[in-house]
Amino acid sequence: MRRHTLRIVSAIAMAAAATSAALVATGSGSANPAPAPPTDTRGPGGLNLDTTTIPQLQTAMNAHRLTSAALTTFYLDRIRRLNPELHAVITTNPAALTEAAASDRSRRNGHLRSPLEGIPVLLKDNVDTRDAEATTAGSLALAQARPASDAFLVTKLRTAGAVILGKANLSEWANFRSTQSSSGWSGVGGQTNNPYVLDRNPCGSSSGSGAGVAADLATVAIGTETDGSIVCPSGANGDVGIKPTLGLISRSGVVPISAEQDTAGPIARSATDAAVTLGVLTGVDPSDPATKASAGHSYSNYAQFLRPGSLRGRRIGIWASCCSGVSNETDSILARTITQLHQLGATTVMVNLPDQATIGANETTALDVEFKHDINAYLSTLGGRHPANLAGLIAFDRAHARQEMPYFRQETFLAAQATSGNLSDPAYKKARATATGLAQKSINQTMAANHLDAIAAPTNSPAWTTDLTNGDHFTLASSSPAAVAGYPDVTVPMGYASGLPVGLSFFASRWQEPKLIGLAYAFEQGTHVRHAPRFLASTP
Residues acting as catalytic residues:
124, 205, 229
Task: Output the CA–CA distances (angstroms, integers) from residue 212 to 41, 168, 190, 310, in the order listed.
Answer: 13, 7, 14, 29
Contact call for residues 22 and 132 (beta carbons, < 8 A): yes
- 487 Cβ contact partners less than 8 Å away, ≥ 6 residues apart: 245, 246, 439, 440, 443, 481, 507, 508, 509, 510, 512
Task: Output the CA–CA distances (angstroms, integers) from residue 224 to 249, 257, 264, 284, 453, in the order listed.
Answer: 10, 10, 4, 18, 25
Task: Output the CA–CA distances (angstroms, integers) from residue 188 to 1, 28, 110, 167, 468, in the order listed.
Answer: 18, 12, 41, 11, 15
The Cα–Cα gap between 100 and 195 comes to 27
The Cα–Cα gap between 439 and 173 comes to 25
Question: 305: which strand partners?
Answer: none
Spell out a b/e string for 117-156, using b for 16 or more CB atoms within 10 Å of the CB, else e: bbbbbbbbbbbbbbeebbbbbbbbbbbbbebeebbbbbbb
Question: 383: which strand partners?
Answer: 146
Concatenated DSSP letters of 90-134:
EEE-TTHHHHHHHHHHHHHTT---STTTT-EEEEETTB--SSSS-
- Burial of 286 per CB tally in 10 Å (0-12, 13-18, 19+): exposed
